[in-house]
Amino acid sequence: MMGLAYLGGLLLSIGAMALIDARWRLAFWNSPGASAAAVGAGTALLLLWDLVGIGFGVFFRGDSPWATGLVLAPELPVEEPVFLVFLCYLSLVAVLGIERMLRRDPASDAEPSGSASAPGGSASSTDAASNPGGGHP
């Protein structure tokens, strides 16, 4: 059972990243095609990099009680592509989240909650993080 710990941790982390993505609609919940292309291309490039490194004898698989021990190719554990998917997804969500925070309207943060008026005079109940327009519908 210990052999599944690393793979299970990676899958749990991807799941947590998907929850963050879904909550703020950053990547797959905003633009699934572009997100899949970005994560897929990044994963493929890094996997190719790994294979080149393995071919030159630079990268090798270390023994760990936390890993499954299953390999896709010599020196390429089954956890490696899963880790690369996590790394690319994490990078995508982090960049899009930071971009969203930098685009926020600072004036909307200064108004007390519930008293902000949207254009047209009605109060807005959306938070700025879930609406790229800075909290205004």
- Which of residues 115 and 17 earns the better pLDDT score? 17
pLDDT at 38: 98
Overall pTM surpassing 0.85 (yes/no): no
Task: Count the residues in the chain.
Answer: 137
Q: How far, CA to CA in Å, does 52 sit from each of 44, 82, 100, 108?
A: 12, 18, 36, 50
- 107: confidence class by pLDDT, cuts 50, 70, 90: confident
Distance CA 80, CA 86 (A): 10
Q: What is the pLDDT of residues 55-91, one digit of tens each?
A: 999 999 988 999 999 999 999 999 999 999 999 999 9
Residue 98, H or E segment: helix 79-103
DSSP, residue by residue, 22-46: HHHT-STTT-HHHHHHHHHHHHHHH
The larger pLDDT score, comparing residue 119 to residue 85, is at 85
Contact residues for 86 (Cβ-Cβ < 8 A; gap 6+): 10, 13, 14, 17
Cα 6 from chain centroid? 18
Q: Look at 14-23, 33-42, 115-124 and tell me which has the smallest mean pLDDT.
A: 115-124
Three-state SS for 128? helix
pLDDT, the chain, mean: 86
Looking at residue 105, its pLDDT comes to 75
Q: Residue 137: pLDDT band by 50, 70, 90 thresholds?
A: very low
State how far the alpha carbon of 34 is from the alpha carbons of 31, 42, 45, 103, in Å: 6, 12, 16, 20
